Chain A
Amino acid sequence: MLTLDRLLFSDIRRMLGQGLAICAVLACGVATFVMSTSTHRSLEIMCRRYYRDYRFADVFAQLKRAPNQLRVRLSEIPGVDDVETRAVREVILDIPGMVEPATGRLVSIPDDPQQGLNAIHLRRGRFPDPARRGEVVASELFAEAHRLGPGSTLDVIMGGRKQRLRIVGIGLSPEYIYAMQPGSFLPDDRRFGILWMPYRQMAAAFNMEGAFNDLSLTLQPRASEQDVLFHVDRLTKPYGSRGAYGRDEQPSHRRVTDELLQLRSMSVVMPMIFLVVTAFLFNLVLSRIVHHQQDQIATLRAFGYSSREIGLHYFKLLLVFVVLGVVCGTAVGIWLARGMTSNFAQFFRFPIVTYVIAWDQVAFALLLSLATAVAGGISALRRAMRLPPAVAMRPESPAHYHASLIERIGLGGFVTPVGLMVFRRLERNLRSTALSVLGMALGVAILVLGSFFEDTIDYVMEMMFQRAQRQDVTLTFNESASAHAVHDVRHLPGVLDVEPFRATPVRLRNGRRTKRLSLMGLEPQPRLFRLLDRNEHVVSLADRGLTISEKLAEVLDVKTGDRVEVEFLEGGHENRMVRVSSIFPDFTEPAAYLNRRELHRLLNEGERLSGAFISVDSRYVTDLHAEVKQTPAVAGITVTTAAKESFQQTIAENLRRMRTVNAIFASIIAFGVIYNCALITLAERSRDLATLRIMGFTRREVSTVLLGELAVITLASLPVGLPLGYWLSHLTTVVMDTETHRVPLVIHRATYAYATCMILATATISALIVRRMLDKLDLIAVLKVKE
C-alpha cells in the first residue's frame, strides 16, 4: 500500500463523524431510489407473469346479447389469436350482518375453468361443478373482507329471484387485480366483489342460453390493435356493443399501470433532495478539510507530488464515503423494497410474489451519487490542486473581518460581542452559510412534502363528497328504466331527494385523439351530484354543450368552445358533433357530462334512466337498504359515506407511515447539516473559543458562539424551506398526474407549522448533541499545542 493511501485512511478516520453524517443523507437518497425502482421492477415482472400465465386478454368489449355463433366470426378477424365469450352480470348481494347491500359481479367461467382467457388462480377450495346450482368462486379480497371461505353462502337477487350461492373456492384473476365498482373511484372490497360461476348456471339464471354479453380476445404478435378493434366493433355493433377497447382502457390494468407510474415518480423527487443536500455537505466538509490541510498539501507538493495526485487523493476520500453511502443505501433500499413489494402484492394479490433488485438502477444510483459528490466537492478539489505550495508555506494572514450587516444597519449596539462574533463569521463565510441554510431548508421542505398529501386528500374528500357529490347513495338500474323508476325510488323508505341520470358509453373524438367513456346526462341544475368550477361554484348544465373534466380536455386537446365528435356506442345512433361549453377541475377519471334531456334528444329516446342519486334521511338507512336488496331492477348500489370511510381507513395508515418516514429523513438531514456546521465552526474557531475561555468565559458562554450560529442557520432555513416545500410538493403533483387520478396542491397552515416545529425540535436535539461534544473538549489545550 502506498503511503499516500495510508494517509487516506488517516484522513478518513479524522473526518469519520462528518463523513458518516453525509453517508447517512446520501444513503437515504439511494435507499428511496433503490426501493422505488426495485419495487417497480418487481411489480412489473409479477404483473407480466401474471398476465402471461393466466392469459389476460388484449381486447375487451361489453355488449347487450350476442349469439355464441358470433365467436367463430370474431376468431376469423385477422390478428386475433384466441376468443373468449362470457356472460357477466352485476347483482345485489345480501350479506348477513351488513346493513347496506353489496354489489357482486357474476362472471361466467367455461366448463373447464383452466382453459380460456382471463383464467382464475385458485387460492383455496375448488372450482364449481358446472352441473350443480349456485356454486361460485369468490374473489379473495372480497371474501376476506367478509370472512367468507369455501362452504360459506351468499344471498343474491338473480334474474328477479332471490337465490342462495355457495362459495366453493377463493380465487384471483389478472382481470380484477384492482376490482372497482363502475362509477366509484375508490376500491371497496366490502361492497364490491367478483363471483365466478359456471356459464351453464349463469345462462339459465339470466336467460342467456346460447348467448354472451362480454367478449375478450388476445392478439397475435405484431397484430394491429386498431384494426382488430375496428373489426370487432363492426361485428358486434348489431348486438349492442358498447365499443371494443384495448388493455390501456381496461379498468384494472389502467389503475395498476398508474400505480406503477406513481411509484416511478417517487424515484425522482425524494432522491433528488437527498442528493442535493449530499452535494452541499460534501462541499462544506471537503472545503474545510482542504483548508485545514493546506500545510500538508503544500509539503506534499514541495516534495514533488503532482497536483493530479493531490486531486486524486481527495477524490478517493469522497469516493470512500460515496461507496459507503451507496452500499448502505442499497442495502436499506433492498430491504424496504422487499417490504413495499409484499405490501403491494398484498394489496393487488398476485399469485406469485417475486422480489427483484434492479441492479442497473443501483449502478445508476452509484454513478449519480459519484457525480453529486464530485459536483459538491469540485471547488475544494480544484483548490487543493491549484494551491501554490509557496503561498501555503507562508503564515496565514489573519482572516479579513468587517462589520456585519447588523452593525452596518446600526443595530450593532444591541448585540453582545459574542453575538457579533456569530454574525460576522456567518457573513464572512457567506457561501458556506448559504449552503448550510439551503441544506436545512431542504430538511424543512421534506417535512412539508411528506405531509402535504394529507391536506390534499382532505381537500379532495371534502370537495368530492361534501361539496360536489352530495348524494348518500347511488343506485344503478339493470336496464335503462323508464321515468317510472324515479317514482319508485322516491317511495323507497327515507328518500329525501332523487336525481335521475342517464349514462351511455361513447367515444369522444377530436382529430386523432379519442377517449372512450361513459357520458352522463344530468339534471340542468343538479342539487346532489354537482360539478364545481375553480371557484367552487356549481356548473350549470342548462345549455346544450358538453361539460368535461380538465383531464379529458387535456386528453382530447380541446378548450371551451371547441367541438368534439360523440360516437354513441350503444344502439345504432349516428355520430354527433357537440360543443364543449365548460371545463371543470376534477381529480379522478376523465369525465364528460351533458344536460340529460339533451342526451335523450341525441339518443332519440324518451326518458330512459340509468340510475339515480338519492339523499336519505339517516334514520331510514337500514330500511332503505333492506328494500333495495329486494329490488330486482337495481343492479348496483354505492354508498358514498361507506366508500369514503373505507378509503380513509386504508389511506390513513399509509399517510401515517409516510409522515413518519419523512420525519426520520428530515431529522437525518437536519442532524447531518447541524453536525457538520458545528464541527467546521469548531475547527475554525477553536483558537478563538480557547482564548475566550482563558479570558474567563464559561463553557456555556463559549458554546453560545457555536450554538448561536446553528440557531441563526436554522431560523434562516425556515423562510427558504417552507416555499421550497411548496414548490417540491407542486413538483410531486406534476409527476403524479396520471389519467386515473391527479393530486391538487393543497397545503394547510398546520402543515407548515408542523414542519417548523419538527425542524426546530430536530435542530435543538442535534445542537444538544453538539453541545455535549463541546463539553468534553479541552478547549484550552488548543492553545498549548504549538501550531
Chain B
Amino acid sequence: MEESRLPAEDDRFPNLSSTDSATTFLARGITKVYRMGEVDVQALRGVDLDLLPGEFVVILGPSGSGKSTLLNILGGLDVPSSGSVFYRDHELTHADEDELTLYRRRHVGFVFQFYNLVAGLTARENVSIVTDIAVDPLDVDDALRLVNLFERKDHYPAQLSGGEQQRVAIARAIAKRPDVLLCDEPTGALDVKTGIVVLDAIARCNAELGTLTVVITHNATIADMADRVVHLSDGMIASIDHNTAKKPAHELVW
C-alpha cells in the first residue's frame, strides 16, 4: 500500500501519464483460448479495435460472444493468447504480472455485473479501499456524492439495494480518477428503473471526468447512450456504429 513497495512506475511506463496520444487503446488481432473445466473455449478470434480518450463505447453482443474476455484483456486482468494490445504507448501484451498490477492500480476502474463489494466493509470503506492505493484520488465523500449515495455511506452492502450497491461500485471505480472505466454488464442484475440510475451515474462520470468508458452488455438499448457501438459476435467484431445523437440514460427504454 505504500508507494515504496511498488516498482517506480515512471521507469517502466514512461509515457503512461502523458495524454497527447491519439488512441487510448490499440488492439490488433487478439485471440484468446482458455480452458474451462475440461473444454477449450475460443473466446476471441482476432479482434482489431481502437478506443479514443473520453469516448463512451458500448460493446454489444450475446453471452459467449467474448465481450467479457475482451474487457478483461483491456483491463489487464488477462493477456491474449495472440495479437497485441497497446495502452497509449505501452504494450500490455508483454507486461508482466507486476506491471499489469501497476497498470490497473493507476489507470483502470472496474464495475462488475455483481458489484463485488466487500461484504464486511461499509459503502464508504468499499470506496476508500481503492483510494488508499491511488495517487491522486477523488475525495471518498465526493465520489459517493457523484453517485448520489453520500447519505448511505455508512451502510454495509447487505443494507443496500442492488442499484445502490452498483452505484457504490461505480463510486469505487471512479474514485481513483481512472483513465479508463470498464463496466461489465453493470445493469445485468438490476431492474429497469435502477439500471437507468446506474447508467446515468456512469454517463455522468464519463462526461464530468472525461474518462474513456467501456460498457459491455447484451442489452441493445444501452447502445443508444454510446458514442460508438461495437458489435461482437462469436469472438469477432461484426460491425462498429457511430451514434450521431447520444441519448441520455433517462430516455432509454427497455
A-side residues, CB < 8 A to B, are 2-4, 6-7, 10-11, 13-14, 295-296, 298-309, 388-390, 393-394, 397-398, 400, 786-787
With CB as the reference atom, state the residue of chain A lying closest to B156.
A10
Docked-complex contact B101 and A305, CB < 8 angstroms? yes
Number of A-B contacts (CB under 8 A): 96
Can you list 30 A-B pairs with a CB-CB distance of less than 8 A?
A2-B1, A2-B132, A3-B129, A3-B132, A4-B1, A6-B121, A7-B120, A7-B129, A299-B112, A300-B129, A301-B77, A301-B101, A302-B104, A302-B110, A303-B108, A303-B176, A304-B102, A304-B103, A304-B104, A304-B108, A305-B101, A305-B105, A305-B133, A306-B6, A306-B105, A390-B72, A390-B78, A394-B36, A398-B37, A787-B114
Contacts A303-B109, A304-B103 given; 4 further ones with Cβ under 8 A? A7-B118, A10-B119, A299-B118, A304-B130
Contacts of A6 in B (CB 8 A): 121, 125
A73 and B116 CA atoms in complex are apart in Å by: 92
CB of B61 closer than 8 Å to a CB of A:
no
Minimal beta-carbon separation of A293 from chain B (angstroms): 9
Q: How many residues of B contact A (CB 8 A)?
A: 38
In chain B between 16 and 57, which residues have their CB closer than 8 angstroms to a CB of chain A? 36-37
Contacts of A301 in B (CB 8 A): 77, 101, 104
Docked-complex contact B120 and A400, CB < 8 angstroms? no
Q: Is the interface of B mostly helix, strand, loop or mixed?
A: mixed
A497 and B5 CA atoms in complex are apart in Å by: 87
A300 and B1 CA atoms in complex are apart in Å by: 12
Docked-complex contact B77 and A3, CB < 8 angstroms? no
CB of B97 closer than 8 Å to a CB of A:
yes
CB of B106 closer than 8 Å to a CB of A:
yes
Chain A proximity mask over B198-210: 1 for CB below 8 Å, otherwise 0: 0000000000000
A307 and B129 CA atoms in complex are apart in Å by: 15
* A388-B108 contact in complex given A7-B129, A11-B120, A306-B6, C-beta closer than 8 Å: no
In chain B between 162 and 177, which residues have their CB closer than 8 angstroms to a CB of chain A? 172, 176
Docked-complex contact B101 and A3, CB < 8 angstroms? no
Q: CB < 8 Å: which of B5, B103, B108, B125 contacts A3?
A: B125
Minimal beta-carbon separation of B107 from chain A (angstroms): 9
Minimal beta-carbon separation of A294 from chain B (angstroms): 11
Minimal beta-carbon separation of B59 from chain A (angstroms): 16
Docked-complex contact A10 and B104, CB < 8 angstroms? no
With CB as the reference atom, state the residue of chain B lying closest to A2.
B132
A388 and B189 CA atoms in complex are apart in Å by: 24
* A306-B98 contact in complex given A3-B125, A300-B129, A390-B78, C-beta closer than 8 Å: yes
CB of B75 closer than 8 Å to a CB of A:
yes
A14 and B119 CA atoms in complex are apart in Å by: 11
A393 and B111 CA atoms in complex are apart in Å by: 12
Minimal beta-carbon separation of B220 from chain A (angstroms): 23
Minimal beta-carbon separation of B183 from chain A (angstroms): 12
A6 and B122 CA atoms in complex are apart in Å by: 10
A393 and B125 CA atoms in complex are apart in Å by: 22
Minimal beta-carbon separation of A635 from chain B (angstroms): 79
* A304-B36 contact in complex given A4-B132, A7-B129, A11-B120, C-beta closer than 8 Å: no
Docked-complex contact B104 and A303, CB < 8 angstroms? yes
Docked-complex contact B120 and A390, CB < 8 angstroms? no
A7 and B126 CA atoms in complex are apart in Å by: 9
A4 and B102 CA atoms in complex are apart in Å by: 18
Minimal beta-carbon separation of B153 from chain A (angstroms): 13
A50 and B240 CA atoms in complex are apart in Å by: 94
Docked-complex contact B120 and A303, CB < 8 angstroms? no
Docked-complex contact A303 and B105, CB < 8 angstroms? yes
Minimal beta-carbon separation of B235 from chain A (angstroms): 16
A3 and B129 CA atoms in complex are apart in Å by: 5
Docked-complex contact A3 and B104, CB < 8 angstroms? no
CB of B65 closer than 8 Å to a CB of A:
no
Docked-complex contact B130 and A303, CB < 8 angstroms? yes
With CB as the reference atom, state the residue of chain A lying closest to B182.
A302
A305 and B101 CA atoms in complex are apart in Å by: 7
Docked-complex contact A307 and B97, CB < 8 angstroms? yes
Contacts of A7 in B (CB 8 A): 118, 120-121, 125, 129
Docked-complex contact A306 and B36, CB < 8 angstroms? no
A10 and B37 CA atoms in complex are apart in Å by: 33
B-side residues, CB < 8 A to A, are 1, 5-6, 36-37, 68, 72, 75, 77-78, 97-98, 101-106, 108-110, 112, 114, 116, 118-121, 125, 128-130, 132-133, 172, 176, 184, 189
Minimal beta-carbon separation of A340 from chain B (angstroms): 43
Docked-complex contact A13 and B116, CB < 8 angstroms? no
Contacts of B176 in A (CB 8 A): 303
**Most chain B CB atoms below 10 A, which of A10, A302, A305:** A302
Contacts of B133 in A (CB 8 A): 303-305, 309
Minimal beta-carbon separation of B98 from chain A (angstroms): 7
* A3-B128 contact in complex given A305-B101, A390-B72, C-beta closer than 8 Å: yes
Contacts of A3 in B (CB 8 A): 121, 125, 128-129, 132
A301 and B104 CA atoms in complex are apart in Å by: 8
**Most chain B CB atoms below 10 A, which of A305, A306, A400, A787:** A306
Contacts of B77 in A (CB 8 A): 301-302, 388-390, 393
Q: CB < 8 Å: which of A299, A305, A398 contacts B116?
A: A299
With CB as the reference atom, state the residue of chain A lying closest to B32.
A390
A410 and B91 CA atoms in complex are apart in Å by: 57
With CB as the reference atom, state the residue of chain B lying closest to A395.
B36
Q: CB < 8 Å: which of A10, A309, A393, A397 contacts B120?
A: A10
* A393-B129 contact in complex given A10-B121, A295-B116, A302-B104, C-beta closer than 8 Å: no
Contacts of B118 in A (CB 8 A): 7, 10, 296, 299
With CB as the reference atom, state the residue of chain A lying closest to B79.
A390
A296 and B128 CA atoms in complex are apart in Å by: 15
Contacts of B106 in A (CB 8 A): 304
Minimal beta-carbon separation of A540 from chain B (angstroms): 75
With CB as the reference atom, state the residue of chain B lying closest to A392.
B77
With CB as the reference atom, state the residue of chain A lying closest to B175.
A303
9 smallest A-B Cβ distances: which pairs?
A: A304-B105, A10-B120, A390-B78, A3-B129, A390-B77, A304-B104, A397-B37, A299-B116, A390-B72
Contacts of B109 in A (CB 8 A): 303
A303 and B119 CA atoms in complex are apart in Å by: 17
Contacts of B103 in A (CB 8 A): 304
Minimal beta-carbon separation of B159 from chain A (angstroms): 14
Minimal beta-carbon separation of A229 from chain B (angstroms): 65
With CB as the reference atom, state the residue of chain A lying closest to B110.
A302
Contacts of A393 in B (CB 8 A): 68, 72, 77, 112, 184
A308 and B5 CA atoms in complex are apart in Å by: 9
Contacts of B68 in A (CB 8 A): 393-394
* A303-B110 contact in complex given A14-B120, A390-B78, C-beta closer than 8 Å: yes
A780 and B110 CA atoms in complex are apart in Å by: 33
Minimal beta-carbon separation of B63 from chain A (angstroms): 11
A447 and B34 CA atoms in complex are apart in Å by: 51
Contacts of B104 in A (CB 8 A): 301-304
A393 and B216 CA atoms in complex are apart in Å by: 15
A302 and B129 CA atoms in complex are apart in Å by: 12
Minimal beta-carbon separation of A296 from chain B (angstroms): 6
Contacts of A308 in B (CB 8 A): 5
**Most chain B CB atoms below 10 A, which of A389, A393, A398, A400:** A393
A304 and B37 CA atoms in complex are apart in Å by: 27
Contacts of B128 in A (CB 8 A): 3
Contacts of A4 in B (CB 8 A): 1, 129, 132
With CB as the reference atom, state the residue of chain B lying closest to A787.
B114
Contacts of A400 in B (CB 8 A): 37
Docked-complex contact B36 and A397, CB < 8 angstroms? yes
Minimal beta-carbon separation of A607 from chain B (angstroms): 89
Minimal beta-carbon separation of B37 from chain A (angstroms): 4
Contacts of A296 in B (CB 8 A): 116, 118
With CB as the reference atom, state the residue of chain B lying closest to A385.
B97
A293 and B72 CA atoms in complex are apart in Å by: 20
With CB as the reference atom, state the residue of chain A lying closest to B6.
A306
Contacts of B120 in A (CB 8 A): 7, 10-11, 13-14
Contacts of A14 in B (CB 8 A): 120
